[in-house]
DNA sequence: GTCTATAGTATGATAGAC
DNA sequence: GTCTATCATACTATAGAC
């Protein structure tokens, strides 16, 4: 991770908001400057270019989401619980940071080649978190998964695709959506349902 | 639906490709004109503005995806099968039309207000297809779903989020991904697994 | 329905004063 | 580290000839 001065953060937040609303290509450096309460020239004191700002927003967002997942899953006792805590954390992060997350997830293509490599690495690390827990659960018999990589990708889609439509004024629904995503992810990997009655499910077939 | 002249289609396809690569805001009308093999002025003979072009691309894409799902599910005999055919069709459409789909799914915010309403209607209709089949399966006992609307949203995310990273040169994997998404969606709604052995699953607990 | 030419404005980024 | 002023270019869209 990397630290930012207050002035840098101010520009960074302004850029994230602008990119999220109008896309990278649709955002002008003047728009960023106005949101930050600075002149257009002041932006270039802290960042060399508009793309450099996008890179900073993107790296910061990926780092934060990744850390949230790791911290949430630290004390999980089983693969089912670890997957659950990770999906819960990822979903909450994407909902609570929907604006930043939109930039993080949808503006990858606007990065220049060297920056793209750094972000691709961060993405691989996050995917690996899910791959590892699914592989562990599959090996222990807690899960039943054919395509581990594909299932991991789909599990991450549950939280990522939320930012396509979720608006911050619906944050009161975040907890409900997070709980739903946890249950769906556990079903996707074939984890035993935590609260339902297995005897009834078996008898009914 | 709506018909287009060959000249209109040519510009439409050029716009879809350009928007997909650089985003709406990052695309110039000159870029569209060059891709279509026309002068910048020729674009405005067929469309009143750049945003009008985006609207046409978006409406056309939503219509096509919606029709693909309806046609695929026409002969399905059960809720499980109908959900499967719909997810299969939606996944294949998004993979085979990843460029257009990116515009359709990610550039909604760039539409002007009147156009946004039309697209929002189309989206509601597509979501309703999934909501209906899940509600039917839940009522018949084929599925076991708590949050029908939320689960429908998540099922659609499986196919939509693919366009965030899928590239057309990997189309040979489309069938595999579509099959996986079908299996995942059926697990998400609690449908009985089609091929596994229930006795063994029960005995192992 | 296409072109060339262009109007009028906005853009990313820099120079130089304070 | 911030500002005002500005450069050089690119932008969306239109006018008018063919």
**Residues comprising chain B, all counted:** 205
Mean pLDDT of chain A: 94
The minimum CA-CA distance between B166 and chain A, rounded to whole Å, is 11
C-beta neighbour count of B42 within 10 angstroms = 15
Residues 136-195, chain A, touching B (beta carbon < 8 A)? 141, 144, 146-147, 150-151, 154, 157-158, 160-162, 164, 176-177, 180-181, 183-184, 187-188, 190, 192
> Which pLDDT tens digit goes with each residue over A129-144?
999 999 999 999 999 9
Q: Tell me, what's the pLDDT at A192?
A: 79
Report the distance separating Cα B151 and Cα B185, nearest Å.
9
Report the distance separating Cα A167 and Cα A173, nearest Å.
10
Q: Reduce the DSSP state of residue A124 to 3 states and report it.
A: helix
Q: Tell me, what's the pLDDT at B146?
A: 98
Report the distance separating Cα B204 and Cα A32, nearest Å.
59
At the top level of CATH, which class does the domain B49-194 belong to?
A: mainly alpha
pLDDT by residue for chain B (205 residues), tens only, comes to 778 999 999 999 999 999 999 999 999 999 999 999 999 999 999 999 999 999 999 999 999 999 999 999 999 999 999 999 999 999 999 999 999 999 999 999 999 999 999 999 999 999 999 999 999 999 999 999 999 999 999 999 999 999 999 999 999 999 999 999 999 999 999 997 654 444 434 444 3
**pLDDT higher than 90, residue A203:** no
CB A88 within 8 A of CB A79: no
Cα-based angle A18, B105, B7 (whole degrees, multiple of 5): 105
- Mean per-residue pLDDT, A118-137: 98
Q: Tell me, what's the pLDDT at B194?
A: 59
Q: Tell me, what's the pLDDT at B29?
A: 98
The domains of chain A are located at 50-193
What is the distance in angstroms measured between the alpha-carbon CA of A21 and the sugar C1' of C13?
Answer: 23
Higher pLDDT, B98 or A194: B98
Q: How far from chain centre, in Å, is Cα A84?
A: 15
Report the distance separating Cα B57 and Cα A61, nearest Å.
31
CB A19 within 8 A of CB B110: no
The candidate with the shortest Cα–Cα distance to B200, out of A137, A205, A151, A193, is A205
| Domain A50-193 architecture | Orthogonal Bundle (1.10)
The candidate with the shortest Cα–Cα distance to A130, out of A110, A153, A163, is A153
Q: Tell me, what's the pLDDT at B204?
A: 41
- Mean per-residue pLDDT, A133-159: 98
Q: Which two tokens stand for residue A131?
A: 């791959």
The minimum CA-CA distance between A164 and chain B, rounded to whole Å, is 7
Of A106, A184, A202, the CB nearest to B188: A184
Nearest nucleotide to the CA of A5, by C1', is D1
> Which pLDDT tens digit goes with each residue over A22-58?
999 999 999 999 999 999 999 999 999 999 999 999 9
Q: Is the CB of A21 under 7 A from strand C?
A: no
What is the distance in angstroms measured between the alpha-carbon CA of B118 and the sugar C1' of C8?
Answer: 32
Report the distance separating Cα A18 and Cα A183, nearest Å.
34
pLDDT level of residue A155 (50, 70, 90 thresholds): very high
Q: Is the CB of A50 under 7 A from strand C?
A: yes
> Which pLDDT tens digit goes with each residue over A70-99?
999 999 999 999 999 999 999 999 999 999
Q: How far is CA A129 from CA A68, A92, A161, B188, in A?
A: 12, 17, 18, 21
CB B197 within 8 A of CB B111: no
- Mean per-residue pLDDT, A104-126: 98
Q: Which two tokens stand for residue B52?
A: 């009008």
Q: Tell me, what's the pLDDT at B31?
A: 98
């Amino acid at each position: 991770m990397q630290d930012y001065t207050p002035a840098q953060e101010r520009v960074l937040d302004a850029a994230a908001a602008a990119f999220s609303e109008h896309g990278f290509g649709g955002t002008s450096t003047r728009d960023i400057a106005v949101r930050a309460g600075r002149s257009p020239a002041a932006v270039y004191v802290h960042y060399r270019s508009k793309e450099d700002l996008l890179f900073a927003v993107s790296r910061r967002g990926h780092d934060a989401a990744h850390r949230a997942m790791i911290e949430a899953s630290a004390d999980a006792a089983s693969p089912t619980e670890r997957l659950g805590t990770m999906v819960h954390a990822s979903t909450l992060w994407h909902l609570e940071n929907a604006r930043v997350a939109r930039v993080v997830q949808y503006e990858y293509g606007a990065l220049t080649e060297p920056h793209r490599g750094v972000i691709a690495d961060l993405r691989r690390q996050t995917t690996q978190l899910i791959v590892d827990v699914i592989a562990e659960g599959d090996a222990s018999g807690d899960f039943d998964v054919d395509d581990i990589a594909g299932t991991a990708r789909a599990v991450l889609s549950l939280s990522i695709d939320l930012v396509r439509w979720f608006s911050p004024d619906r944050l009161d629904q975040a907890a409900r959506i997070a709980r739903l995503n946890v249950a769906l992810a556990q079903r996707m990997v074939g984890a035993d349902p935590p609260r339902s009655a297995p005897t009834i499910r078996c008898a009914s077939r």
